[in-house]
Amino acid sequence: MGVMDTIRARHSVRDYEDTPIEGNKLYMLKNLVADVAVCSGLDIQLVTDNPEAFNIVARFGIVRGASTHIAFLAKGSEADEAIGYWGQRIALAAQEMGLNTCWVAIMARKKSKAKLTDGKKVRLGMAIGYGKTQGKPRKTKSVSELSVIESAPAPAWFGAAMEAAQLAPTAMNNQNFRITLRAGGRTVKAEATKTGGWNSVDLGIVKRNFEEAANECKADWRWES
């Protein structure tokens, strides 16, 4: 599948089959997580045989049946955008492997079997496995609500990249971000429209989706520094 096919197919899945990830697929997943950890410099761990991490009582956000998760460890919130950006690379690659995922903010962090070092804690998790369903699309804001175009008309690649950003998962489906195409049609600014919470993580996820789609279009573009 192409990147846009993967992005369109990937939905958050909260109910999982009691089937462990094994064989070549587990090998590929381990290599993927290790590669992303090296590229990002983040502490990212694949944790298997650990259903206790999702044994919680909550009003929302419950994951059922997953025994495997990706743990993103950090000392605080400073790495949140990077966690979102690099974690979404894992989510998209997992989708291509035939696995389902769900970003998880509400989990039993102390029950995770991730190895804690250097004063880090589990900042965020991602359930991963074989979903009972493939999930379903969420209601989204319109592209016009999520973007600003300083000089019309926008190039075709920007429309494709904005669709990818529009489909990015965000906490509580808030979509608290804005993407601006600067005059000239090459430079792009991405920003969170609200601070705090998981908005920085969401921004990183959005930027990964946007970037993957823009690059698939072979666009001549860049992020605003």
Q: One fold for both 3-129 and 143-223?
A: yes
pLDDT at residue 58, as a whole number: 66
For residue 101, the surrounding DSSP H or E stretch is strand 100-104
The ranges of the chain with pLDDT < 70 are 57-59
Collapsed DSSP state (helix, strand, coil) of residue 118: coil
The tokens for 37 are 């950890």
Q: So what's the pLDDT on residue 152?
A: 85
Specify the CATH number of the domain 3-129.
3.40.109.10
Question: Residue 89's pLDDT is what?
Answer: 98
Q: What is the rounded distance in angstroms from the CA atom of residue 161 to the CA atom of residue 135?
A: 22
Residue with tokens 């909550």: 58
CA-CA-CA-CA dihedral for 99, 104, 109, 111, to nearest 10 = -40
Does domain 143-223 match CATH 1.10.760? no
Helices 199-216 and 156-166 sit at what angle, rounded to 10 degrees? 140
pLDDT of residue 225: 86
Q: Let me know: does 156 contact 218? Beta carbons within 8 Å.
A: no
For the whole model, what pTM was predicted?
0.97
Nearest one of 185, 224, 179, 182 to 205, comparing CA atoms: 179
pLDDT for the residue numbered 1: 77
Check residue 59 and give its pLDDT. Answer: 66
Would you list the domain boundaries of the chain?
3-129, 143-223
